[in-house]
Copies of this chain bind each other. A is one copy, B any other.
Amino acid sequence: MSRTELNELGEFALIDHLTQEVAIHHQETILGIGDDAAVIENKDSCTLVSTDLLIEGIHFDLMYHPLKHLGYKAVIVNLSDILAMNAVPKQITVSVAVSNRFSVEALEQLYEGIRTACNLYKIDLVGGDTTASPKGLIISITVIGTQQKDKIVKRNGAKPGDYIYVTGYLGGAYLGLQLLEREKRIYQEHPDIQPQLGENREILERILKPEARMDIIRLLDKNHILPSAMIDLSDGLSSDLLHICKQSGTGALIEEQNIPIQQEAQLMALEFHLDPITCALSGGEDYELLICVPPDLHDKVKTLPSFYYIGEITAPENGVRLKTTHGNFHNITAQGWKHF
């Protein structure tokens, strides 16, 4: 029997491969695998479901991620998937597996973060599972949301001419992570040296305690704006824009000069000898939304706070490209997180 290594396929191809023969039995299952969340139709509205698995040593490092922040972030990243469908998250289940390295007090910290996020975003914690793990901490969260069928926004609705917006600064979470990793290495080599994190609150908060853009979903609703396509920026702008274009059957052109990057992130990129725009394109975990909007809604959208225009959806034959500040064009390729 042949053996194919997991890293030969990569995460997205692996999911496609494993789920290609999945059959749908119920007509109320109106959207399955392949978007930010699944959609189940009820008589009056739809139920949306999304799930995420967070594993110590893969998705987080407890050396610099306090358990309370981790609990908070674990909820946020899940809410973000429901928001990315233009829906309202309402309930979560939380399953946790821990080795006996953890105490009850450590788990209390984790749940305090979970509760804090739930109270802030008005989310009901309705179930879960707690079990032992042979090694490390594992957190599995499922989030349930609701929205009327005609207001759900998928990844596949973008059309040439649509404007592309992002809802905030990009690359900060990636640079926050680089900083934490550097200070961890220094600490491991010289435990007497105190970490130098002081002036970088914003990028550290991005990676350690991100927020979900519930405010944007409310803003869209209040202003009667229905985007044509949407995704949350968890894997990175390049990777997530490619998802939109692939599923919508379009190209895209985004402009370097329009991509919002915090000054703090710019300075940190220089300190690491990294190109800030590369960090914004390839760095994941900012949890901003990428929103495609038909051109006739542009006048409405441009008055809204937090909407940064970065470019346009194009015909598929134009590909997915970046126009640099020097006027050059580059093809955008997926460089999202690779776990395997």
Indicate if the CB atoms of A115 and B51 lie closer than 8 Å: no
For residue A138, CB closer than 8 A to chain B, the reply is: yes
Q: Provided the pairs A5-B104, A93-B142, A125-B19 are in contact, do residues A134 and B135 lie with their beta carbons within 8 angstroms?
A: yes
Q: CB-CB < 8 A to A133: which residues of B?
A: 55, 58
- For A115, what are the chain B residues with a Cβ–Cβ distance below 8 Å? 21-23
A3 and B103 contact, CB distance less than 8 A: yes
8 A Cβ contacts from A1-18 to B: 1-9, 11, 14-15, 17-18
The size bracket of the interface on A is: 35 or more
Q: A111-B18, A134-B136 given as contacts; is B100 within 8 A of A5 (CB)?
A: yes
CB-contacts of A53-111 with B (<8 A) = 53, 55-59, 90-91, 93, 95-98, 100, 102-105, 107-108, 111
A72 CB → nearest B CB, Å? 15
Contact of A44 among B42, B58, B119 (CB under 8 A): B42
A138 to B56, CA, bound (A): 12
New A-B pairs, 20, CB < 8 Å, besides A21-B115, A32-B124, A132-B340: A1-B105, A3-B105, A5-B104, A6-B132, A11-B131, A15-B130, A19-B111, A23-B115, A25-B118, A33-B125, A38-B93, A40-B90, A40-B144, A49-B144, A51-B127, A52-B129, A53-B97, A53-B140, A55-B134, A58-B131
Going nearest first, the 10 A-B pairs with the smallest beta carbon separation are: A38-B126, A140-B140, A4-B104, A132-B339, A43-B44, A142-B142, A25-B122, A57-B134, A42-B42, A53-B95
